[in-house]
Amino acid sequence: MTDIAVACVGADGSWVCSVRVRDTRSATDHVVGVDEIDLPASMDGAEAADIERLLVATFEFLLEREPKESILSRFDLRVIARYFPEYDDEVRRRLAG
């Protein structure tokens, strides 16, 4: 089982989030930048708890496609769609469900 722990801080529509992904073997740490403009429309007015939920869904998505060690240690949320074009639609579906 994989545990995803997220903590976000931010203001004025921009957040910096620390994400720790841990399984039975090891853990990895990641820093993710999130700007309000990159959020799904359904997240208008998002707060830190909403962003944390988004990042859990995001890392679940990423872990289905690559091992935790392959996920960049520091990145902005907007770059994911460059690597995985289906990301935006899939994360919206996950958050709605």
**The pLDDT of residue 86:** 97
Tens digits of per-residue pLDDT, 67-88? 999 999 999 999 999 999 999 9
Tens digits of per-residue pLDDT, 36-57? 988 877 777 788 889 999 999 9
CA distances 83 to 1, 23, 46, 86, 95, Å, are: 25, 24, 25, 9, 20
Reported pTM: 0.92
Number of domains composing the chain: 1
**The pLDDT of residue 11:** 76
Look up tokens 């074009």; give the residue. Answer: 85
What residue numbers bound the domain in which 55 lies? 3-96
**The pLDDT of residue 15:** 94
